[in-house]
Amino acid sequence: MKKPTLVNHPPDVSPPPGNQPVIAPIYQSVKFEFETVDDTLRMLRGEAPGYFYMRASNPTTRQLELTLAQLQGRDDCLATASGVNAIAQTLLGLTKSGDHVLFFIETYGPTRNIIRRLLARFGVEHTMLSIEDLAGIENVLASRPTRLVFFESPTNPVTKVADIERIVDLAHRHGALAVLDNTFAGFHQHGEYGIDVFVHSLTKYASGTGDVMGGAVIARQDLIDDLRPDFSVLGAHLDPHAAFLIQRGLKTYFVRYSAQTANAQKIAQFLAGHPAVTRCHYPGLSTHPQFALARKQMKEPGTVVSFDLRDGSEAARKFSEGLKLFALTASLGSTESLVMAPQLIGSRDFTPEQARQSGVTAGTVRLSIGLEDAGDLIDDIDQALGG
């Protein structure tokens, strides 16, 4: 073998039988081969297990998919390059021209854009209500055939808690699928409800480090089987290196989620008692309008705390810029704390009535609470409030 051949066919260093790595390696390979055409065809026809081309599947990404499916309590999972990609592909894969979808004012902004702009271009119709309008949900579902209801809980940024049992029941009674973006609650929550499809951003709690993006669709087998052919041709399969980092992050998911939630609870209590704050939104506060529902439905109320400042948008801007330990940026669920100023939260696509229903005011600030010492975070918030 000449050296130009050697560098393209390097020595095999697979561990011998019985000798396994404790951590699965990153299969950074686009292609997988069988020795024969017939073995390749058997795998491609789904008659034998295996891998062929990374855009369809890869063992590292597959390990993450199987882990997430078990965490959320469903049969299978498709991992994607971002959370919005998981949402876009789910919505594209489950709808066709003439279908109707129901979604909410409180839905994540890019998801509203997917439904109102992208799906609309393909003739998929929609109705947008407030997540609090259960009578409206029932009316819409009773009055027009609906393919799916897409919702979130707790919602962004003011942590409204959706009545999952009611919404799933209404959807199913009227022949619609219930699709939940469960990013805020996490993989260990809401699995006991009859949700048909969970979508997640893996960019948030999954790794916790804020250095990698990903998304996931988690559902029962028949739905994943229906979605899979579109996924492999739309071409946003999660890269194995990103999958490895997310899989590694999941090792500490439960302790991070609980410790950050404990911090968030303390911070919410501090904010609720502060004279500059008119209202603190956190599902773990007894003053939260759906506190009883949150207690029943959630194991842990999560790490996003938002609040309204009495003195409105300029006070909120000053507060957000005055924090030293909180990064002024998007996202949530990372081990470092983050703040979003109201100027950055705004939804320019709302009518004044929809803006009112969204619950976001000129002085609404959103905090994502990390793993720092709770006392340090409270001191920082106190100084930024001018205390």
Ligand X SMILES: *Cc1c(COP(=O)(O)O)cnc(C)c1O
Closest approach, Cβ 266 to ligand X, in A, equals: 23
Query: Of 204 and 288, which CB lies nearer to ligand X in the complex structure?
Result: 204
Give the residue with the Cβ less far from ligand X, 316 or 338. 338
Taking the least distance from each CB to ligand X, the nearer of 82 and 261 is 82
Q: Which is nearer to ligand X, 152 or 380 (CB)?
A: 152
Give the single-character DSSP code of 223. H
Indicate the pairing of strand 215-219 with strand 197-201: antiparallel
CB nearer to ligand X: pick between 83 and 186:
83
> Least distance to ligand X from the beta carbon of 75, Å?
22
Smallest separation (angstroms) from ligand X to the CB of 53: 24
- Closest to ligand X by CB, 306 vs 384, is 306
- Please state the closest distance from residue 11 (CB atom) to ligand X, in A: 39
The residue among 122, 185, 183, 174 whose CA lies nearest residue 148 is 174
Contact 179, 209 (CB under 8 A): no
Of the two residues 214 and 380, which places its CB atom closer to ligand X in the complex?
Answer: 214
Shortest approach of ligand X to residue 152 CB, angstroms? Answer: 6
Please, which residues have CB within 8 angstroms of residue 133's CB and are 6 or more apart in sequence?
A: none
Count of C-beta atoms within a 10 Å radius of residue 82: 18
Question: Which of these, 265, 361, 263, lies nearest to 309 by C-alpha position?
Answer: 361
Residue closest to ligand X (Cβ)? 83
How would you list the strands of the sheet with 100-104, edge to edge? Answer: 76-80, 215-219, 197-201, 177-181, 148-152, 100-104, 125-129
The contact set with ligand X (CB under 6 A) reads: 82-84, 108, 152, 156, 181, 183-184, 201, 203-204, 213, 215
Shortest Cβ distance from residue 107 to ligand X (Å)?
8
Cα within 13 Å of Cα(243), Cβ side: 30
Report in angstroms how near the CB of residue 65 gets to ligand X at its nearest: 16
* Radius of gyration from C-alpha coordinates of the chain: 23
Return all residues near 201 (Cβ < 8 A) that are at least 6 apart: 82, 83, 84, 86, 183, 214, 215
Task: Specify burial of residue 287 (Cβ count, 10 A radius: 0-12, 13-18, 19+).
Answer: exposed
